[in-house]
Amino acid sequence: MKKTGLIFIITGIIFTLITALNISFKTEEEVAEVGPFELTREEEHDLGLSPWYGAGAIFVGGVLFLVGRKK
């Protein structure tokens, strides 16, 4: 259980950092093609994930780590 707890803690820290950085990405979509011309549209998307998921993983990892240590 200690190893699983540590994996949860590390994953939670990474997830919290990723969501705190507000990472976004862009997509480009072809709207129309008229002869030799192309019309494209570029959209920006956010990951839209809450940092609470990372905090929850850290909490669960801490509990698993402590329970595994008592045995």
What is the reported pLDDT for 42? 93
Give the C-alpha separation, 29 to 69, whole Å: 53
Radius of gyration of the chain (CA): 21
Q: Which amino acid is at 63?
A: V
User: How much is the average pLDDT of 43-68?
Assistant: 86
The predicted-structure confidence for 8-36, as pLDDT tens digits, reads as follows 999 999 888 887 777 788 999 988 888 88
What is the reported pLDDT for 71? 52
pTM of the model: 0.61
